[in-house]
């Protein structure tokens, strides 16, 4: 990966500021009333409205709440705000859809609160929405135009238990000015042009330690996430929002445990395809640009070159099984879900730690047969075993509760360690992968056992 004729610059920022940070900071500065001014009896007028969205493991990008900022804090004096006091409507294109308000409570910040007693006095009113509503989606093939797409109307007065008016009902409707997606908003957007002129868009998460002290001596792992075929696009967004493959590595609790750079490139349209299986990440133009991007990034940021990790799903996993044999001494480990590849190249990667998984009944990328004449994960693992790698295998239901899923993963990992095996293969029992048998990755990247295993791997110098 070092034999490059020309370097190109990464269009990166040293850090990012999220919309929620700006809103919260502005509100905090205005919280204190002016000296001598009497405290308001209610929350006063609504000043700004934002949508809160969330990337889910299986159901893509959803609008999950509305946050309304008022001129003064909302004090409910122990009372509860009835969800029925508000009507929320999503106007997406020419279709208007009612959203279901499930909870309503004050807050000091633009975020949802999982606590059952949510309601600390604050300037924000949070209206949680049912994520399973028909109109909850935030994207199709491309992100939907969500700015000013949501209308909120208060249809009943909100009062304290003592009868004081906090928010009066009225005929006016307000619309959202902002769209906030936690974690996704912390990714910088950029693009990379390789030595041939081919361009890849990317999103980049930079660990807080680096953002605070970019000149420090600390070196961080790099996680490169390869999206699936459905995310090939020109929006530089759906590689983050179609599923949580990249986002889960950047969420705060994961970064506290494993601070790392997270690089999420996106293959552009028109879809590169030079033959029956030179698709997406195996397309020669795409693969060459990806290699240059990774090499350039590792030389321009404080990356620990011994801890480069590949993570991919579907055609992204196909990319992993194509890239590893071509660069067998570059990556420390890989997570490959629902992939396929060339069995004849498996003898080149017997030394690389891999955790692969696949649903047995996957109809999109068949478990054994794979796609385009290249076999699926089951066959690849058999070829890897014949080449000399010791494979530790396990099978369980993909829809197990998270604690049980992690317990099964931990037991498999312990068995691998006892056997001295660094290649693990998880199969998911027929009929147990929700939404679609192809979506085997939903629990993979939320699984602390798997992710801890990944970050434990380090390539020999």
- Convert the pLDDT of each residue in 361-414 to its tens digit: 999 999 999 999 999 999 999 999 999 999 999 999 999 999 999 999 999 999
Please name the residue that has the structure tokens 């920022």.
Answer: 13
Please name the residue that has the structure tokens 């552009």.
Answer: 268
Q: What are phi and psi of 17, to 5 degrees?
A: -125, 125
Please name the residue that has the structure tokens 């040293």.
Answer: 14
Element (H, E) at 175: strand 173-175
Predicted pLDDT of residue 120:
82
**Arithmetic mean of pLDDT, 290-308:** 97
In the chain, the percentage of residues whose pLDDT exceeds 70 is 90
In the chain, the percentage of residues whose pLDDT exceeds 90 is 83
The pLDDT tens digits for 56-81 are: 988 899 999 999 999 999 999 999 99
- Residue 43 — very low, low, confident or very high, per pLDDT cuts 50/70/90? confident
Residue 19 has pLDDT above 70, yes or no: no
Are 443 and 432 within 8 A, CB to CB? no
- Between CA 168 and CA 131 the distance in angstroms is 27
Under DSSP, the state recorded for 439 is -
Are 211 and 15 within 8 A, CB to CB? yes
- Residue 27 — very low, low, confident or very high, per pLDDT cuts 50/70/90? very low
Tokens read off for 152: 């909120």
Residue 431 has pLDDT above 90, yes or no: yes
- Residue 31 — very low, low, confident or very high, per pLDDT cuts 50/70/90? very low
- Between CA 252 and CA 137 the distance in angstroms is 24
Residue 262 has pLDDT above 60, yes or no: yes
Predicted pLDDT of residue 114:
78
- Between CA 385 and CA 391 the distance in angstroms is 6
Element (H, E) at 20: helix 19-30
List all residues 6 or more positions away from 235 whose beta carbon is below 8 Å from its beta carbon: 142, 143, 266
Residue 141 has pLDDT above 50, yes or no: yes
The pLDDT tens digits for 312-368 are: 999 999 999 999 999 999 999 999 999 999 999 999 999 999 999 999 999 999 999
Predicted pLDDT of residue 94:
79
Task: Output the DSSP codes for 261-324.
Answer: EEEEEEPPSSPPB-SSS-BGGGSHHHHHHHHHHHHHHHHHTTEEEEEEEEEEETHHHHHHHHHH
What are the domain boundaries of the chain? 19-180, 187-456
Task: Output the DSSP codes for 199-268.
Answer: EEEEEEE--HHHHH-TTSS--EEEEEEE--GGG-SSSS-HHHHSSSTTHHHHSHHHHHHS--EEEEEEPP
Q: What are phi and psi of 216, to 5 degrees?
A: -70, 165
Q: Calculate the CA 298 to chain-centre distance.
A: 22
Closest CA to 46 of 83, 80, 74, 11: 74
Predicted pLDDT of residue 93:
77
- Between CA 250 and CA 44 the distance in angstroms is 37
Contacts for 411-414: CB closer than 8 Å, 24+ residues apart:
413/449, 413/453
- Between CA 21 and CA 417 the distance in angstroms is 43
Predicted pLDDT of residue 271:
83
Cis preceding-peptide flag for 382 (omega within 30 of 0): no
Residue 93, Ramachandran bin (φ over 0: left; ψ between -120 and 50: alpha; else beta)? left
Q: How far apart are the first and last CA of the chain?
A: 15
- Residue 285 — very low, low, confident or very high, per pLDDT cuts 50/70/90? very high
Closest CA to 368 of 281, 450, 413, 430: 430
Predicted pLDDT of residue 34:
45
The pLDDT tens digits for 196-248 are: 999 999 999 999 999 999 989 999 999 999 999 999 999 999 999 999 999 99
Residue 39 has pLDDT above 70, yes or no: no
Q: Which CATH superfamily is domain 187-456 in?
A: Alpha/Beta hydrolase fold, catalytic domain (3.40.50.1820)
Residue 256 has pLDDT above 90, yes or no: yes
Class of domain 19-180: mainly beta
Alpha helices, DSSP H, located in 301-423: 315-326, 377-386, 402-419
Half-sphere exposure at residue 95, Cβ-oriented, CA atoms within 13 angstroms: 10
Average pLDDT, the chain: 90
Are 295 and 2 within 8 A, CB to CB? yes
Residue 28 has pLDDT above 90, yes or no: no
**Arithmetic mean of pLDDT, 416-427:** 98
List all residues 6 or more positions away from 335 whose beta carbon is below 8 Å from its beta carbon: 309, 310, 311, 312, 354, 355, 356, 444, 445, 450, 454
The pLDDT tens digits for 441-454 are: 989 999 999 999 99
Cα-atom radius of gyration of the chain, to the nearest Å? 24
CA dihedral 100, 102, 105, 110 (to 10 degrees): -70
């Amino acid at each position: 990966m070092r034999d490059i004729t020309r370097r190109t610059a990464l269009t990166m920022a040293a850090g990012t500021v999220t919309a929620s940070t700006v809103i919260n900071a502005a509100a905090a500065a205005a919280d204190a009333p002016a000296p001598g001014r009497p405290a308001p009896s209610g929350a006063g007028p609504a000043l700004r409205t934002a949508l809160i969205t969330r990337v889910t493991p299986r159901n893509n990008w959803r609008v999950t709440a509305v946050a309304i900022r008022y001129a003064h804090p909302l004090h409910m004096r122990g009372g509860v705000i009835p969800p029925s006091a508000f009507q929320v409507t999503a106007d997406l294109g020419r279709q208007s859809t009612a959203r279901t308000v499930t909870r309503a409570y004050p807050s000091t910040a633009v975020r949802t609160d999982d606590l059952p007693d949510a309601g600390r006095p604050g300037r924000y009113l949070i209206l949680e929405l049912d994520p399973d509503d028909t109109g909850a989606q935030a994207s199709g093939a491309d992100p939907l135009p969500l700015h000013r797409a949501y209308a909120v109307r208060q249809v009943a007065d909100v009062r304290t238990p003592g009868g004081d008016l906090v928010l009066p009902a009225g005929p006016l409707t307000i619309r959202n000015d902002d769209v906030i997606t936690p974690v996704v908003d912390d990714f910088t957007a950029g693009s990379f042009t390789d030595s041939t002129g081919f361009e890849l868009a990317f999103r980049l998460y930079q660990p807080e330690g680096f953002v605070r002290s970019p000149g420090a001596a600390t070196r961080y792992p790099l996680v490169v996430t390869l999206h699936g075929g459905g995310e090939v696009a020109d929006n530089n967004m759906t590689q983050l929002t179609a599923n949580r493959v990249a986002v889960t590595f950047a969420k705060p609790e994961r970064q506290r445990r494993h601070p790392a750079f997270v690089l999420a490139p996106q293959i552009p349209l028109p879809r590169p395809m030079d033959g029956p299986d030179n698709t997406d990440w195996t397309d020669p133009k795409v693969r060459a640009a990806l290699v240059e991007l990774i090499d350039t990034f590792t030389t321009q940021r404080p990356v620990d070159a011994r801890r480069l990790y590949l993570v991919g799903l579907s055609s992204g996993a196909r990319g992993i099984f194509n890239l590893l044999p071509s660069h067998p001494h570059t990556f420390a480990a890989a997570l490959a879900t629902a992939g396929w590849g060339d069995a004849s190249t498996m003898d080149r990667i017997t030394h690389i730690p891999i955790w692969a998984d696949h649903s047995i009944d996957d109809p999109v990328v068949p478990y054994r047969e794979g796609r385009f004449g290249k076999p699926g994960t089951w066959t690849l693992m058999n070829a890897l075993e014949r080449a000399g790698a010791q494979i530790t295998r396990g099978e369980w239901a993909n829809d197990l509760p998270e604690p049980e899923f992690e317990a099964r993963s931990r037991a498999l990992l312990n068995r691998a360690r006892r056997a001295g095996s660094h290649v693990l293969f998880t199969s998911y029992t027929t009929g147990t992968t929700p939404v679609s048998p192809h979506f085997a990755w939903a629990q993979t990247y939320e699984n602390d056992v798997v992710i801890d295993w990944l970050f434990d791997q380090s390539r020999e110098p």
